[in-house]
Structure 1
């Protein structure tokens, strides 16, 4: 945890002619939430983030022909720390976002823009969080408002999406789930495709998949996933893919976890993931082109295989 009275200062001076370098420095400091005490004097709460960010910026200033000094600072008057903390208050930014989110009516959004608009709101939230070095109630309220809007949007655009269960997750032995028949709703999208890929690659390589119109079509002995009443579905804050990860003890695989964050963002929103727009576009193209769900899954598996390899370039993904 960051100390209340330990701070880092960057004192930087650039030649007058270095306008581009000055702009890069300003943008980088703004993106990380550093406070400006006066022209050329920048402040961040002491910690690993401040050390890395300010040290890198100091190097850039020197490379541009300027001077830079990094200092640790402890206010002589403890009240000064409280004043410095106010420089990092992001409550107004959160309030503006919360107001926009609560005023939003997804029923009036053009169908072609719903995903883009929701993701833009989540990106704005993430940008504020990145600069919020003393998170508190405003950040929680912003997160909650976005989750409420995301749920309303899902109910509007995907009324058959499962409702989260609060049941406790049980660790399951993979050996008991090999050679099974797995069932989910037809015309699968991100969570169902990723879940089926995870089942095929990490849980049940011999899996048979059935694509059903309604939950009632899931036969006895089949393992349902990603619909209300299914064996595996949304649980608490987890989407179905994340439920499978936790249920089968796969959360220690960093690449699978990062794919889980991507699936979570594309399915129900949350923290933006850099690869999400590309994966979403690829899957959307496949879904539009391939009308057979088995062929769609095969093609989607190739996408997720490539993503997993990209996220673990030096590790085996067999």
Structure 2
């Protein structure tokens, strides 16, 4: 197996550069073989990760060299990258949060869960030789996120098994679409998507209970609805897949909706979008007015993201 080796020497008087270089090396996931000697598995990305480090060291009056080496006893090097201790510490915190979870503190647990998710992402980013430990910790984290969201929203749908069938928007025009009242992220985004890309004359019906859904209405985002969670996909993602909506900006919004609805991989824009939608929800007690305001937000996001591509 091939490895990338970084050998450096820095002037002792330049403490600022030394600290910056140390932080960059640590963030790359490189391990120290001895003072000034660092190791990464040989990949194009890892080789590129050392480039800015070597440039900064040389600019600061130091010496830096990068080598590619082959080492037959690669298990010795692999063990240096073992992240089990980090995963175990994270898993213990996840379990502690789960044990504390109640109706009263569910919002706080969700916030803590997002911090734990970011830690998990940082560990996996430098876990170059993942094993079953990573999967177990992620399963525990997903369960924490799911349980916390379910306490706050007990009517949230459970992902059903099965394939997502490809449908044609032409068959879904002028329909009544029904979902639970006081919509939050997934329902708001799904209602916007329906009107914007599937059924422009859709009539929205806000249900006090899923049991109130009329037989002739198309229900969405509740158990037993025509469109709801499938496996690990939230309703917005199911609608995208059902109607073949593959626009990159819509897929980007899907990642935000998924994260805010059920947790998972952190998305940079999610917190800001959540704050805006929370402000709208607090400002409008009428769900039609809330949807109208949210539509402006979603349209603006799609326009901005489309301009970036």
- Does the pair score TM above 0.5? yes
Give 2:14's aligned residue: 18
Give 1:59's aligned residue: 55
Distance verdict in 2 for CA 1:230–1:103, change over 3 Å: same
Report the TM-score when normalising by structure 1. 0.91
- The answer to whether the Cα contact below 8 Å between 1:186 and 1:211 also exists between their aligned partners in 2 is yes
Give 2:114's aligned residue: 119
- Equivalent of 2:79 in 83, 86, 105: 86
- Write out the 4+ residue segments of structure 1 that deviate beyond 4 Å after TM superposition: none
- The answer to whether the Cα contact below 8 Å between 1:21 and 1:61 also exists between their aligned partners in 2 is yes
Aligned pairs for 1:1-318 (under 5 A) are 5-75=1-71, 78-79=72-73, 81-104=74-97, 105=99, 106-107=101-102, 110-250=105-245, 252-315=246-309
Distance verdict in 2 for CA 1:62–1:108, change over 3 Å: farther
Q: How far is the alpha carbon of 1:175 from its aligned partner?
A: 1.7
- Structure 1 residues not aligned, in runs of 5+: none
* Counterpart-to-counterpart distance in 2, 1:61 and 1:206: 62
- The answer to whether the Cα contact below 8 Å between 1:9 and 1:71 also exists between their aligned partners in 2 is yes
Q: How far is the alpha carbon of 1:232 from its aligned partner?
A: 0.8
Distance verdict in 2 for CA 1:38–1:192, change over 3 Å: same
Which 10-residue stretch deviates more, 306-315 or 44-53? Answer: 306-315
Distance verdict in 2 for CA 1:222–1:108, change over 3 Å: closer
Q: How far is the alpha carbon of 1:50 from its aligned partner?
A: 0.4
* Counterpart-to-counterpart distance in 2, 1:178 and 1:64: 65
Distance verdict in 2 for CA 1:163–1:57, change over 3 Å: same
Report the TM-score when normalising by structure 2. 0.93
- The answer to whether the Cα contact below 8 Å between 1:31 and 1:130 also exists between their aligned partners in 2 is no
* Counterpart-to-counterpart distance in 1, 2:306 and 2:66: 35
- The answer to whether the Cα contact below 8 Å between 2:106 and 2:148 also exists between their aligned partners in 1 is no
Is the partner of 1:231 in helix, strand or coil?
A: coil
* Counterpart-to-counterpart distance in 1, 2:149 and 2:127: 29
* Counterpart-to-counterpart distance in 2, 1:95 and 1:258: 32
Is the partner of 1:183 in helix, strand or coil?
A: strand
Structural RMSD (CA):
1.7
* Counterpart-to-counterpart distance in 2, 1:109 and 1:25: 44
